[in-house]
Amino acid sequence: MGCVVIKERILSAPVDFTDVQGLVRFGYGKMTEACYLLLKIRQPDAARAWLAKAPVTTAEESDPPPVTALQIAFTSQGLNALGVPDGVVAGFSPEFVSGMAGEKNRCRRLGDIGENAPTNWNWGRQDQMPHLMVMLFAAPGGLDGRLQWIRDSSWQSAFEEIACLPTSNLGGREQFGFIDGISQPVIDWKRNRTVPINGDQLIYGNVVSLGEFLLGYSNEYGRYTDRPLLAPTDKSAQILLDAEDAPGKKDLGKNGTYVVFRQLEQDVRGFWKYAKKQSEQGHGKGDEVAEKLLGRRLEDGSPLATLHSTAIEGVGATGRPAAREKDVRLNQFTFDADPNGTECPFGAHLRRGNPRNADIPGNPKGLISHFLALLGFGQKNIRADLTASVRFHRLLRRGREYGPGLAPDQRTVDAPPGDPERGLQFVALNSNIERQFEFVQNAWMMQTKFDGMTEESDPLLGNREAVEGCPFTDSFSIPQDNRARKRLMNMPQFITVRGGAYFFLPGIRALKYLIDAGS
Amino acid sequence: MKPQSNILVIAPLKPERTADLRDLLASMNFVPGKVNPVNALIPFEQFSQLHVARLVILDDKTLGDMETAYGVAAPSYPAYLAFLADFDGTADNFRADLVRLAKDGLNSIFSCCADFSPAMDLAQWMKAHDNPPATIYVNWAGRTVQQIREENALRLALENHLQENQDAFGSKSAGQAHSALCEFTRAEISAGRLTLTPPPATPVIWWMRNAADLIGVPLILLLLAPFLILYLPFFIFMLRSREKHDMEIAPRPDPADAEQLALIEDYDVTNQFTAMGSLKPGLFRRSTLVFSLWVLNYTTRHIYTRGQLARVPTIHFARWAFIDGKKRLLFASNYDSSLSTYMDDFINKAGFGLNLVFSNGIGYPTSRWLVLDGAKDEQKFKYFLRRHELPTNVWYKAYPGLTAFDLKRNTLIRQGIERANLSGAELQQWVALL
């Protein structure tokens, strides 16, 4: 029965960081310049030659740390173009093989309809599909030189550039003006984590199994996420590492992961004009409305929910004392003490993005109350069990802003002619696209029924598209203590998808295999 | 209250008419996955008692698993047509309404079945082909379609009124807001803009049967207890020895099949799911499943009658039905959110329940002690379900846009409106429903 917590500890070899692309381990924060080159393969042989000598940055620590980095990821079309056998490509996740815009059902689930529909995308639609992405990072002043260096004659014969997606450094804030990248899962690199297979994790924690972010390792279910496993008789597969879970097989996924890339244009002026108008109508002073929509405070990023007095596993646990202290101040909270959403609205972006709960609500004490909770009894709050088990739905975010920032005093001013596009190059890493990115995007962000609500989607990402049988989908509820809720109405769409694709970010050995497999 | 009932008409198809039937069923949809509620064959919307209905061709592509796993030649079954509906009131009344409102359409649909001719008595024929479920789950016993519609109209009116008077309500306490909204509701009702029909009397016969079942099942279990205890060691031995050797058949579903299934999903906030498969051979698995579903049905009939099945609050109606002499099982459900979310919810919240039932099916991911592991092998479990899923040809739900939780919230709002003296804590909870 689930009440018996069976802990399985998988003792295995440590991670070989020289086989992992560095982006999985580092955000390259000191390299404030970056761009993403979306490429089509012009000549497979030339592409293979270029890829074989590409200086791919690994996750190994070095002293001094590098000042530039280069990472490579492929779409499934890219693997086909490289000549990787179909049977091998078919072993990757179905979402990756089919692609972000590959099925109508996926578009419906991800909210990529209406303005967001792939037919409107600049890239990532069927006729504008990159084969691979080269991600370049550099310390201040270094990117241009890096780009010049990379675009040599062998590059020109190998690739056709669909786009070079820019980024900008807004000093740690995203375009709306809030502090960015505050909350990340802590990856269990040392593989110390024990997960309950038939039992439940009763307390929310921020440490997540390595297998959730890197293929070839056990995940939060204590299982290995599907990926291509090759016979050792395959000559080019001999370079690959052995699969831990399938003796005798070579693991093409090992030390690789999937990159979810979405170019998200942000209507910064629209957002702040709307917030200002709602403030004028008495829904909050100053920046309060915007902070309710986000779930964090504008000035310092602190959460609207009250901090816990006790530690949360994986919060404030690493880094220098100042960094630990900051993490505690920003992340040592759940919504357990805010069951009615009066501190942080249920629909706030932060709360939708991670409802921060364990496998069973209410942290039952003792076997009997745990057993009763398993059978669905004993919850006093009707929302208590609507979302659960967030540990299966975590994302590692590596996104960067693009376009010029807007000074606070410009945010509510009408756009001048030719106002440039600004937004977020959303980059998320996960090893199970369906259970991680697609779940979060669909069930938590887009669904108008999230957490017992109705008629509203994520205040930032929502597309406000009609739902049959619902009068509207563009509201935002702000629960009040012992009062009827306030409700913001007629909220426009603030974020529009401009492009996107699923990529595979291979391990270093796997990259060599992919280069050789089709030659 | 007026209890819900259900029908499940199953009949073998004439092989040569299967393609015609597919076209006929497709003609009932606007696009695959989106039914025309007033289609010419069965104008679902005209059935005021109907919650959900579906028509699905049962053509199991996994029959060969019997041979793969147990070396026993796969039995051959014809393809069937299944017609499922969940509705208020009795099955006889519903069948009579079907004859009244959809006779021609049903005649042309059932004409594709082997033993039907339009000259027969349609209601009789459907009754003769009805398969009672082994387990039926109803999200909220006795909540009628009429009640759902009235309560949703109530909520929308209250929300609208709140919005138009947001400033005034901003200074009202929960108690004052409740009084004001009760008064508003009374005024709307007397102006004829809202209706809140009181629940009808519970049919005496139904009540007596239900009470008999409530007491009878535990009584039978008590009487059987000595035998069950004696059987337990044998049961455990047979179970464990089988669990150690039963073969898993859960390959990744064919991408084209998976896309075909996904194509008809996620139009409404609720989705349909239909799946079938064969039981593992032998009396042991059959008796285990019969017993499990019998006990499960007791819980859905008497315990889980108010908005959730164990921890899962997203199912409107679900049923498990044996077919072909208990050699095969059909599962059909109506659930909120997308399929992967639904499966995640089930794996994480009620994996033990899934294992209890589905581990008796051929190819299920390896379980231990009947309830452990199994579904916890997340990816294999998802593959297994997708592989056994059938494309539902026609699916109707009477209240698009409303989740099971919406219905619960609306009912609680109405209950609060109809109660004058709520305590302070109750008032706070009530006002938070809006």
Partner-chain contact A454 B308, CB within 8 Å: no
Q: Best of B259, B271, B359, B413 to disrupt the A interface by mutation (most A CBs within 10 Å)? A: B259
Q: Is A1 on the interface with B (CB under 8 A)?
A: yes
Tokens for A368?
A: 């009997």
| Averaged pLDDT for residues A387-393 | 95
> How many Å apart are CA A218 and CA A199, to the nearest integer?
17
Among the partner-chain residues A106, A386, A468, the one whose CB lies closest to the CB of B405 is A386
- B230-258 pLDDT per residue, tens: 999 999 999 999 999 999 999 999 999 99
> How many Å apart are CA B150 and CA B146, to the nearest integer?
6
Partner-chain contact A1 B401, CB within 8 Å: no
Residue of B nearest to A466 (CA): B401
Residues from chain B contacting residue A489 (CB–CB below 8 Å) = 163
Angle ∠(A420,A422,A425) on CA atoms, nearest 5: 140
- Kindly report the nearest CA distance between residue B377 and chain A, in angstroms: 7
pLDDT at A191: 92
Query: What are the two backbone dihedrals, phi and then psi, of residue A282, each rounded to the nearest 5 degrees?
Result: 90, 20
Query: What are the beta bridge partners of residue B88?
Result: B4
Q: Is A7 on the interface with B (CB under 8 A)?
A: no
Residue of B nearest to A108 (CA): B266
Query: 10 Å Cβ neighbour count for A234?
Result: 15
**Is there a contact between A484 and A340 (Cβ–Cβ < 8 Å)?**
no
Instruction: Return all residues near A484 (Cβ < 8 A) that are at least 6 apart.
Output: B162, B169, B170, B172, B174, B177, B431, B434
Residues 321-340 of A with CB under 8 A from B: 340
pLDDT at A12: 65
Q: Is A223 on the interface with B (CB under 8 A)?
A: yes
- Kindly report the nearest CA distance between residue B201 and chain A, in angstroms: 28
> How many Å apart are CA B404 and CA A178, to the nearest integer?
36
- A156-169 pLDDT per residue, tens: 999 999 999 999 99
Residue of A nearest to B425 (CA): A482
Q: How many residues does chain B have?
A: 434
Angle ∠(A205,A211,A217) on CA atoms, nearest 5: 135
User: Residue A271 belongs to what H/E stretch?
Assistant: helix A268-278
What stretches of A339-452 show up as alpha helix (H) in DSSP? 349-353, 367-374, 439
DSSP state of B309: B
Task: Check pLDDT > 80 for residue A10.
Answer: no
pLDDT at B318: 98
> How many Å apart are CA B123 and CA B101, to the nearest integer?
12
Query: What are the beta bridge partners of residue A396?
Result: A429
- B147-186 pLDDT per residue, tens: 999 999 999 999 999 999 999 999 999 999 999 999 999 9
Among the partner-chain residues B162, B163, B341, the one whose CB lies closest to the CB of A443 is B341
Residue of B nearest to A113 (CA): B267
Task: Check pLDDT > 60 for residue A4.
Answer: no
Confidence bin at B54 (pLDDT 50/70/90): very high
Q: Is B251 on the interface with A (CB under 8 A)?
A: no
Partner-chain contact B408 A382, CB within 8 Å: yes
Q: Is A376 on the interface with B (CB under 8 A)?
A: yes
Straight-line distance from the first to the last Cα atom of chain B, in angstroms, rounded to the nearest whole number: 26
Query: What are the beta bridge partners of residue A426?
Result: A262
Query: What are the two backbone dihedrals, phi and then psi, of residue B327, each rounded to the nearest 5 degrees?
Result: -90, -20
Q: Please classify residue B16 by burial: count the beta carbons closer than 10 Å to its beta carbon, then call 0-12 exposed, 13-18 middle and 19+ buried.
A: exposed
Q: Where are the domains of chain A?
A: 1-273+353-409+420-467+498-519
Instruction: Return all residues near A130 (Cβ < 8 A) that are at least 6 apart.
Output: A38, A39, A40, A75, A77, A78, A123, A124, A162, A163, A501
Q: Is B262 on the interface with A (CB under 8 A)?
A: yes
> CA separation (Å) from A220 to A210, A309, A436?
8, 27, 11
Query: 10 Å Cβ neighbour count for A56?
Result: 16
- Kindly report the nearest CA distance between residue B189 and chain A, in angstroms: 21
Residue of A nearest to B259 (CA): A103
Residues 82-111 of A with CB under 8 A from B: 90, 94, 97-98, 103-106, 108-109
- Dihedral sign of CA atoms A506, A507, A513, A516 in order: positive
> How many Å apart are CA A59 and CA A66, to the nearest integer?
11
Task: Check pLDDT > 80 for residue A13.
Answer: no
- Dihedral sign of CA atoms A296, A353, B354, B378 in order: negative
Query: 10 Å Cβ neighbour count for A240?
Result: 26
User: Residue B212 belongs to what H/E stretch?
Assistant: helix B204-245
DSSP state of B319: E
pLDDT at B347: 95
User: Residue A138 belongs to what H/E stretch?
Assistant: strand A132-138
**Is there a contact between B60 and B406 (Cβ–Cβ < 8 Å)?**
no
Residues from chain A contacting residue B172 (CB–CB below 8 Å) = 483-484
Could you give the percent of chain A with pLDDT greater than 70? Answer: 98
Partner-chain contact B259 A105, CB within 8 Å: yes
Rounded to the nearest integer, the mean pLDDT of chain B is: 96
> How many Å apart are CA A321 and CA A300, to the nearest integer?
18
Tokens for B412?
A: 């609680």
pLDDT at A3: 34
Query: What are the beta bridge partners of residue A242?
Result: A250
Angle ∠(A254,A126,B254) on CA atoms, nearest 5: 55
> How many Å apart are CA B272 and CA B338, to the nearest integer?
10
Among the partner-chain residues B255, B340, B379, the one whose CB lies closest to the CB of A98 is B255
Residue of A nearest to B401 (CA): A469
Rounded to the nearest integer, the mean pLDDT of chain A is: 94
- B350-363 pLDDT per residue, tens: 999 999 999 999 99
| Averaged pLDDT for residues A395-422 | 95
Confidence bin at A378 (pLDDT 50/70/90): confident
- A242-286 pLDDT per residue, tens: 999 999 999 999 999 999 999 999 999 999 999 999 999 988 888
Q: Is A144 on the interface with B (CB under 8 A)?
A: no
Residue of A nearest to B33 (CA): A105
- Kindly report the nearest CA distance between residue A360 and chain B, in angstroms: 8
Residues from chain A contacting residue B256 (CB–CB below 8 Å) = none
Coil vs helix vs strand at B200: coil
Residues from chain A contacting residue B156 (CB–CB below 8 Å) = 471
**Is there a contact between B386 and B261 (Cβ–Cβ < 8 Å)?**
yes
Residues from chain B contacting residue A392 (CB–CB below 8 Å) = 344, 348
Partner-chain contact A449 B403, CB within 8 Å: yes
Q: Where are the domains of chain B?
A: 4-142+202-397, 145-198+403-431
Strand ranges for B173-288 from DSSP E: 270-278
> How many Å apart are CA A269 and CA A425, to the nearest integer?
19
User: Residue A228 belongs to what H/E stretch?
Assistant: none
Residue of B nearest to A452 (CA): B405
Amino acid (1-letter code) at residue B9: V
> How many Å apart are CA B231 and CA A14, to the nearest integer?
48
| Averaged pLDDT for residues A476-496 | 96
Residue of A nearest to B342 (CA): A443
- Kindly report the nearest CA distance between residue B216 and chain A, in angstroms: 22
- B419-429 pLDDT per residue, tens: 988 999 999 99
**Is there a contact between B51 and B397 (Cβ–Cβ < 8 Å)?**
yes
Query: What are the two backbone dihedrals, phi and then psi, of residue B112, each rounded to the nearest 5 degrees?
Result: -80, -5
CA B238 from chain centre, in angstroms, equals 32
- Dihedral sign of CA atoms B306, B311, B314, B316 in order: negative
- B389-433 pLDDT per residue, tens: 999 999 999 999 999 999 999 999 999 999 988 999 999 999 999
Residue of B nearest to A379 (CA): B311
Partner-chain contact B376 A106, CB within 8 Å: no
Among the partner-chain residues A108, A221, A443, the one whose CB lies closest to the CB of B378 is A221
Coil vs helix vs strand at A37: strand
Task: Check pLDDT > 50 for residue A5.
Answer: no
> How many Å apart are CA A357 and CA A362, to the nearest integer?
9
- B289-348 pLDDT per residue, tens: 999 999 999 999 999 999 999 999 999 999 999 999 999 999 999 999 999 999 999 999
Partner-chain contact B170 A105, CB within 8 Å: no
Query: What are the beta bridge partners of residue A263?
Result: A425, A499
pLDDT at B135: 98
Q: DSSP assignment of B85-104, as one string?
A: EEEES-HHHHHHHHHHHHHH
Task: Check pLDDT > 50 for residue A8.
Answer: no
> How many Å apart are CA A82 and CA A89, to the nearest integer?
11
> Cis omega before residue B15 (within 30°)?
no
CA B215 from chain centre, in angstroms, equals 25
Residues from chain B contacting residue A470 (CB–CB below 8 Å) = 401
| Averaged pLDDT for residues A27-49 | 97
